[in-house]
Amino acid sequence: MPNLFNPRIFVLSMRLDELPPRESFLDWYNEIVEKAGLTDKRYPIKGMNVWTPYGWKIMQSVDSLIRREFDATGHDEVNFPTLIPETEFAKEAEHIKGFGKDVFWVTHAGENELDVRLLLRPTSETAMYPMFSLWIRSHSDLPLKIYQIVSTFRYETKQTRAFIRVREIHFFESHTAHRDFEDAEKQIKEDLEILDRLMKKLCLPYLMHRRPDWDKFAGAYYSLGIDTLMEGKILQIGSIHQYRDNFSRPYDIEYEDENGEHRYVHQTTFGMSERLLGAVIGIHGDEHGLILPPAIAPYQVVIVPIPKKGHQEEVYAACRELEEELSGAGYRVHLDDRDMRPGNKYYQWEIKGVPIRIELGLRDMENGTVMLFRRDTLEKESVQRRGVAEKIAEIMQDIEKHLYVRAMKKMEGSIKEVSNLSETDPESMPEIIKASWCGKESCGIKMEEITDMNVLGTAEPEEKSQEKCLICGEKAEKYIYLSKTY
């Protein structure tokens, strides 16, 4: 088995030419996913890609951030079976209506046709809740807070795309059960705080939308969509749902309260997926390749020796010493000592999005300096060798801030309130439209038709409008947002 994590395996088999320009965004995206060694889509099932080592390492770092957050807030990790019996799946009517067309079925075991068909989980409500009804007995069992990070399966019929639209999804889902609606609402507040901390680490700005009733999750009381802007279109990167007792009734999840009364629990879920990685690629990357936030970069620092004839050993020894020092300081650092021109190494690590590169040659050694290169700004700076570990901490913080603010400004600049939908020149249409809305479904649908966009929902927390509905002219209560979506 070759060491696929070694960049040479990927890069040598590739053309060392430029990436497509960012303006041809989807070509650029496809190419960068492949060239950076994130996934291999040649696996013979469409939409089920192989996670190759570099991509998997990044995803695992994202998962670690998620685990840290959920463990710290009293959630326990579990792992449920992949298969769900049709009988359980069919219990919540809305749910099966929403997912029915998207599931993969297992109909046979060996040569026998199964009495009860099994399906590959598209999400895990119907796998978990029969167990919840066994686990939860009394008010002292509540709240129940669990999560898992597993593959889910959806038969996508649209064009598949790495990390954005796939049929086997690397999925995070938390499920909680509470004694009443208010306690479930508190959970959603906690989810929002978790989300905010996580997104800062991934340098991803986001918008929170309460989805309209016609677009909420199958079976939910309400759904919050977590949306980000990627190249002029909205990418949903997660969702939070309030189920109230919509699932606990069909699944019979009851508890006995202090007075001996039986009550149904109230439930919430929070889901995110590998789309987080898709967003990181698409939002931060440039024409040189990926730009990884330091928190999830497999290597935060790469050291490239600048060899000089007759002084090879000195230079390499100095590089090794620096590598040990930085790794001792807690950085994920890699010394690239391959026999290859430094320029080629730069090129490869830039594609892979390593946040900081250090170049170290004889002249630097004599001057007591090193050359630092920042992937996000492409700036080079000669800094003192002494104290370089502290300097890197500073720069990494600055990279995090810079990536976040840059993406945030772009997103905020794309939102515009419009006073007329039909007369607006399509060319000058903002990427995200904010419109006064009366709250009626028919007016929302009409807005989608006129703009050829999707309703994202109302902002969370809600913003009151003093204007009139742009469709029916009646008093508008709120604003609704629309955009093109992935």
Task: Tokens for 347, please give them.
Answer: 């090129």
Least separation, in Å, of the C-beta of 234 and Zn ion? 22
Q: Does 435 bind Zn ion (CB under 5 A)?
A: no
Least separation, in Å, of the C-beta of 441 and Zn ion? 10
Listed residue (239, 241, 266) closest to 251, CA to CA: 266
Least separation, in Å, of the C-beta of 474 and Zn ion? 5
Can you tell me which of 253, 443, 456, 480 binds Zn ion, judged by CB under 5 A? Answer: 443
Can you tell me which of 139, 472, 485, 486 binds Zn ion, judged by CB under 5 A? Answer: 472
Tokens 């109302």 sit on residue:
458
Least separation, in Å, of the C-beta of 465 and Zn ion? 11
Q: Does 470 bind Zn ion (CB under 5 A)?
A: no
Listed residue (364, 342, 25, 39) closest to 170, CA to CA: 39
Residues 6+ apart with CB under 8 A from 413: none
Least separation, in Å, of the C-beta of 447 and Zn ion? 9
Distance CA 397, CA 381 (A): 16
Distance CA 91, CA 96 (A): 8
Least separation, in Å, of the C-beta of 418 and Zn ion? 15
**Which CB atom, from 338 or from 478, has the smaller least distance to Zn ion?**
478
Residues 6+ apart with CB under 8 A from 142: 136, 177, 178, 179, 183, 255, 265
Q: Does 455 bind Zn ion (CB under 5 A)?
A: no
Distance CA 276, CA 1 (A): 30
Q: Does 358 bind Zn ion (CB under 5 A)?
A: no
Q: Does 469 bind Zn ion (CB under 5 A)?
A: yes
Q: Does 142 bind Zn ion (CB under 5 A)?
A: no
Least separation, in Å, of the C-beta of 436 and Zn ion? 9
**Which CB atom, from 308 or from 475, has the smaller least distance to Zn ion?**
475
**Which stretch in 173-181, 360-368, 373-381, 435-443 sits in contact with Zn ion by CB under 5 A?**
435-443
331 residue type, one letter: Y
The pattern of x and - marking residues 203 through 242 that bind Zn ion according to CB under 5 A reads: ----------------------------------------
The pattern of x and - marking residues 258 through 277 that bind Zn ion according to CB under 5 A reads: --------------------
Q: Does 396 bind Zn ion (CB under 5 A)?
A: no
Residues near Zn ion (CB under 5 A), total? 6
Least separation, in Å, of the C-beta of 208 and Zn ion? 23
Q: Does 447 bind Zn ion (CB under 5 A)?
A: no
**Which CB atom, from 236 or from 465, has the smaller least distance to Zn ion?**
465
**Which stretch in 175-183, 319-327, 393-401, 437-445 sits in contact with Zn ion by CB under 5 A?**
437-445
**Distances in whole angstroms, Cα of residue 142 to Cα of each of 65, 105, 128, 185, 221:** 26, 34, 16, 14, 20
Can you tell me which of 403, 438, 456, 482 binds Zn ion, judged by CB under 5 A? Answer: 438
Q: Is 155 exposed, middle or buried (0-12, 13-18, 19+ CB in 10 A)?
A: middle
The helix/strand count (H/E) of the chain reads as: 13, 23
Distance CA 435, CA 418 (A): 6
Distance CA 100, CA 92 (A): 12
**Which stretch in 23-31, 42-50, 285-293, 462-470 sits in contact with Zn ion by CB under 5 A?**
462-470
Residues 6+ apart with CB under 8 A from 286: 22
**Distances in whole angstroms, Cα of residue 219 to Cα of each of 222, 244, 250, 379:** 9, 10, 11, 50
Can you tell me which of 235, 281, 471, 480 binds Zn ion, judged by CB under 5 A? Answer: 471
Q: Which residues bind Zn ion (CB under 5 A)?
A: 438, 440, 443, 469, 471-472
